[in-house]
Structure 1
Amino acid sequence: MRLILVRHGETASNVRMVLDSVPPGPPLTDAGRAQAAALAEQLAGEPVTAVYASTAVRARQTAEPVAAAHGLDVRVVEGVHEIFCGDLEGRHDREAYGIFTATVKRWAEGELDVPLPGGESGRQVLDRYLAAVAGITAGRREGETVVLVSHGASLRLGALALAGNVTPALAEAGLLPNTGRVVLDRVGDGWRCASWTGVDVVGG
């Protein structure tokens, strides 16, 4: 089976570069709704059998056109929301972003028990994210494609943990634009990344 992980469309917080992690969060901007419509067109030819979204409004709004294009409903799933920023929530200054990115980099390199100030550790993020992915992909058959609309930082960390051919360098450098996609294919009991924001990924 194939799992397509999608970052949500643009929000006002994205435009202002605000660390905004707590659901339900802001809705999509007009540009974000256009991105969601374009995403639905791009995925129209895929054999999509289920569309999931996090509990955030922006994720559900991004998923809705994709689901509608395949005659499906969006299934909201717990556990795939954005990394909880704790004391950094609502900030958009350089210091806050530096702390956030440095901490996520440490997680990608294996230091999963380091928490954000007042927020989650990498291990806490992965525990919830991977459990959610296991739940939505259990029992799926060969040839099925599942779309999960999630969030940039948690998505990248989850993909790094899931796919053997995703390196820390790719997860750290491969920042996802709004509606950017990571495509994973199930191989045996594991996953292999086929593409990252449209670029083929080798190895694994």
Structure 2
Amino acid sequence: MENRNDDEAVAEFNAIYQRWHHGELEVPLPGGETGRDVLDRYLPVLTDLRIRYLDDHDWTGDIIVVSHGAAIRLAAAALAGVDGGFVLDHHLGNTESVVLIPITDGRWSCVRWGELSPPFSPEPAPAPIADAVRCNTDPMA
């Protein structure tokens, strides 16, 4: 899929990426990495940055990591426990960011996803009849 942007390649990438967010990290992209490979390459760098700088009480700055949006989304979900459904529903646009802050015990908290703030939950499936019954309104009106 390298150097391809045709509809078939995009659909194949998206199908595999969705599987990664549903726990199937061992599925590889054709001729490329698995989700596990991406995380194994990506997460140690973030851990090292955290240990070197963010866990140092004298450090007062921020660290900015620039990467491919899909890798950012996968790593942020893994580090901060952001729901895979939310990640798949909320693509990051060009130059959008995810903000993670270190919390206790080596864990992270996601405090910003693009333009969104927590809580980060998947979009509810539309259920107009159930919604109307719950709200006591006529769904046909």
- Which residue number corresponds to residue 16 of structure 2? 103
- Which residue number corresponds to residue 198 of structure 1? 115
- Which residue number corresponds to residue 149 of structure 1? 66
Q: How does 1:53-132 map to 2 (within 5 A)?
A: 88-132=1-45
Answer with 1 or 2: which has the greater Rg: 2
TM-score by length of 2: 0.76
The residue type equivalent to 1:149 in the other structure is V
- Which residue number corresponds to residue 102 of structure 2? 186
Which ranges in structure 1 are unaligned for 5 or more consecutive residues?
A: 1-87
Post-superposition Cα deviations, 1:24-77, rounded to whole Å, max 9, x if no partner, equal xxxxxxxxxxxxxxxxxxxxxxxxxxxxxxxxxxxxxxxxxxxxxxxxxxxxxx
The structure in which a higher percent of residues are strand is 1
Q: How does 1:7-46 map to 2 (within 5 A)?
A: none
**SS of 2:9 mapped into structure 1:** helix
- CA-CA distance at 1:144 after TM superposition: 3.4
- Which residue number corresponds to residue 136 of structure 1? 49
Instruction: Report the number of matched residues.
Output: 115
The structure in which a higher percent of residues are helix is 2
Matched-pair identity in %: 43
- CA-CA distance at 1:133 after TM superposition: 0.6
Q: Output the CA distance in 2 between the equivalents of 1:105 and 1:155.
A: 14
Q: Output the CA distance in 1 between the equivalents of 2:84 and 2:97.
A: 17
Q: Output the CA distance in 1 between the equivalents of 2:49 and 2:109.
A: 17
- CA-CA distance at 1:202 after TM superposition: 2.0
Q: Output the CA distance in 2 between the equivalents of 1:136 and 1:178.
A: 24
- Which residue number corresponds to residue 163 of structure 1? 80
- Which residue number corresponds to residue 124 of structure 2? none
The residue type equivalent to 1:94 in the other structure is D
- CA-CA distance at 1:102 after TM superposition: 0.4
**SS of 1:146 mapped into structure 2:** coil
- CA-CA distance at 1:193 after TM superposition: 0.5
